[in-house]
Structure 1
Amino acid sequence: MTKKLGDFTGLAENYSKFRPAYSPFILDALLGITNKPVEDIDYVDVGAGTGIWTRMVALRGLNSATAVEPNDDMRSFGIKDSEATSINWVKGDGETTNLPNNSADILTMASSFHWVDFDKGIAEFSRVLRDQGIFCALWNPRLLEANPLLVEIEQTLYEMAPHIKRVSSGRATFTDTLLNNLNDCEQFSDVLYLEGRHVVQQTPEEYIGVWWSVNDIRVQAGEQCFADFMKYVEAKVVDLPFIETTYQTRAWAAKVNK
């Protein structure tokens, strides 16, 4: 499978089945800083993927929830996974959401803002949000240091493909400057950083499935190198009852200036 950076076509099934949820405490905090009763909130998730975070938010009983996703494969799995909800799915992206002006109270991008042109995305989110609306970008990276096995596997990856630079991790260069970049843009203010950790016990199948859903590493490593790495991972974990993974949900929230 020859892939382009940021193209999740063919990865959606593993993404849908194996990607873990985000910290519920981050969601509590996000809803808590919104100046509206939860049942009155109109919510938009841009770059929703298969809707993992979208469903977490929507199930809190909001007035409405809309998922915007550009990739047909990811969106089709998202629609299927969200059949029991009232989430409305729309084709669009972070620069062109295809949503009306002043139509959302909260707009999020979960594990996807790094794929968007910052200035164009910020302008689009400002257009869609209502007065006092909140934009939140969040990621759900692993806290590798919490498990020596994960550190060893990650080190082996970089030994096999030393040229790799993480694009989509919430602990990458993009997030290092995000607080300052949001503070410096005229469309948003009152920037807040939030962090919540949660532990997930993954079966070997689940742990391996998360790796197979990754785009940036696979593209940069190349198909043969990534396949060799996955053989190593499978051999490393196949006989374990579970892999304990600590996830570190990191979120940057800001209020729109209207």
Structure 2
Amino acid sequence: MTNNTTGEWSKDFIPEGNLASNVNRFTGFEDTYDQHRPEAPQEVITLLTEYLMRRPSLVVDLGCGTGLSTYAWKDAADQVIGIEPNDDMRGKAIAKLASLQTAAGNGNDVHSADIQFVSGYSNQLALPDGSADIITCSQSFHWMDPSSTLKEAARVLRDEGIFAAYDCDWPPSLTWKVEQAYHELIEQTEATISQNVAAQEQAYKGNKNEHLKHIRDSGLFRFSKEIVFHHIEPFTAERYTGLAVSQGGIQTVFKLGSSELDDRIAHFHALVEEQFQGRTLPLMLSYRMRLGIK
């Protein structure tokens, strides 16, 4: 059910097609997530605005987390709505918005868009038909039911509006030894979860490589494609390690109170420190965007 005054979902109700385990996976580590995860790069804004062929009136950011992908539109759209079911992640986004509004109240015009963050689910949006120009899923579509989410997105999008799911390849390109250690860390993480969490209580993660297939198979979009692009960002050893630790699986193991990852994380951190040697390095983040035009 929704709150009649705010249009937000009741925290006690999860619509069909959504899993509580997926929502709860992100509880309690919003600060780590927000500190180390990348913001949506400018390439996202440029690409989608060019495909729309005008400045968007309304952008809807599904599974917006702490707002890293929502605030990217602050100077590029008239209105932006970030939708996030996890209270902790959404609370962080709202806290950042309050800081921006305080700065604006002090005479600093920090953004031109009307930005809002609301509780909600991707397949039941409290938005009118044909109201959005662009709907984005940044690092989030794999946590959603693709069929019902795309059906709802098509309802909310205007004619020739754009649905875009984009993801970053983990980890950022550095050296093969570091990246191999990262993948080994993630493999041990998944094994630890499988051994200690009942299958029905585990989060379900869809295959990102099937995003474009889901868009095409839906029959809801007149045009679809995948775009691959790269973005360079400065990284320190602390941020590189922090990005790894911000992965939901590792945080899940931490919540279990398990120390099974301690040695593997220490090994990974040592390799990262050895490579950076106290430097800040420009590293490549590789993105894959799958989009559909209604």
- TM more than 0.5: yes
How far apart are the structure 2 equivalents of 1:75 and 1:177? 27
> After superposition, what is the alpha-carbon deviation per residue over 1:131-170, rounded to whole angstroms, capped at 9, x for unaligned?
21110001122365653243232244267457489x99xx
> After superposition, what is the alpha-carbon deviation per residue over 1:198-256, rounded to whole angstroms, capped at 9, x for unaligned?
22231222122222221135447963223333222333334632465321111011112
Structure 1 stretches of 4+ with a deviation exceeding 6 A read none
How far apart are the structure 2 equivalents of 1:129 and 1:195? 24
How far apart are the structure 2 equivalents of 1:79 and 1:47? 14
Range with bigger deviation, 41-50 or 5-14: 5-14
1:214 to 232, 244, 247: 247
- Alignment pair present for 1:77 and 2:92: yes
Query: Structure 1-normalised TM-score?
Result: 0.83
Residue 5 of structure 1, CA deviation = 4.8
Say whether the 8 Å CA contact 1:104–1:133 is kept in structure 2. Answer: yes
Query: For residue 25 of structure 1, what is the aligned residue in structure 2?
Result: 43
How far apart are the structure 1 equivalents of 2:171 and 2:242? 18
Q: How many residues align?
A: 247
How far apart are the structure 1 equivalents of 2:63 and 2:225? 21
Residue 8 of structure 1, CA deviation = 0.6
Say whether the 8 Å CA contact 2:235–2:281 is kept in structure 1. Answer: yes
How far apart are the structure 1 equivalents of 2:61 and 2:183? 34
How far apart are the structure 2 equivalents of 1:46 and 1:73? 16
1:134 to 152, 158, 162: 162
Say whether the 8 Å CA contact 2:58–2:132 is kept in structure 1. Answer: yes
Say whether the 8 Å CA contact 1:23–1:197 is kept in structure 2. Answer: no
Report 1 or 2 for greater relative contact order, CA contacts < 8 Å, sequence distance ≥ 6.
1
Question: Over alpha carbons, which structure has the higher Rg?
Answer: 2
Q: Residues 50, 162 of structure 1: CA spacing in aligned structure 2 closer, same or farther, 3 A cutoff?
A: closer
Say whether the 8 Å CA contact 2:84–2:120 is kept in structure 1. Answer: yes
Aligned to 2:64, the other structure's residue is in SS state coil
- Alignment pair present for 1:237 and 2:272: yes
How far apart are the structure 1 equivalents of 2:182 and 2:171? 11
Say whether the 8 Å CA contact 1:139–1:251 is kept in structure 2. Answer: yes
- Alignment pair present for 1:95 and 2:128: no
Query: For residue 11 of structure 1, what is the aligned residue in structure 2?
Result: 29
**Structure 1 segments unaligned to the other structure (5+ residues):** none
Say whether the 8 Å CA contact 1:143–1:248 is kept in structure 2. Answer: no
Say whether the 8 Å CA contact 1:42–1:103 is kept in structure 2. Answer: yes
Say whether the 8 Å CA contact 1:23–1:249 is kept in structure 2. Answer: no
- Alignment pair present for 1:50 and 2:66: yes
Query: For residue 228 of structure 1, what is the aligned residue in structure 2?
Result: 263
Aligned to 1:78, the other structure's residue is in SS state helix
> After superposition, what is the alpha-carbon deviation per residue over 1:149-196, rounded to whole angstroms, capped at 9, x for unaligned?
43232244267457489x99xxx9722222222112122230021111
How far apart are the structure 2 equivalents of 1:90 and 1:16? 18
Query: For residue 255 of structure 1, what is the aligned residue in structure 2?
Result: 293
**Structure 2 segments unaligned to the other structure (5+ residues):** 1-19, 101-110, 194-201
Say whether the 8 Å CA contact 1:193–1:250 is kept in structure 2. Answer: yes
How far apart are the structure 1 equivalents of 2:132 and 2:95? 24
How far apart are the structure 1 equivalents of 2:93 and 2:186? 32
Say whether the 8 Å CA contact 2:171–2:179 is kept in structure 1. Answer: no
The percentage of aligned residue pairs carrying the same residue is 26
The one-letter code sitting in structure 2 at the alignment partner of 1:51 is G
Q: Report the RMSD for the aligned CA atoms in angstroms.
A: 2.9
Say whether the 8 Å CA contact 1:107–1:135 is kept in structure 2. Answer: yes
How far apart are the structure 2 equivalents of 1:186 and 1:92? 25
Say whether the 8 Å CA contact 1:199–1:246 is kept in structure 2. Answer: yes
1:41 to 53, 57, 73: 57
Query: For residue 106 of structure 1, what is the aligned residue in structure 2?
Result: 134
The one-letter code sitting in structure 1 at the alignment partner of 2:140 is S
Aligned to 1:105, the other structure's residue is in SS state strand
Aligned to 2:69, the other structure's residue is in SS state helix
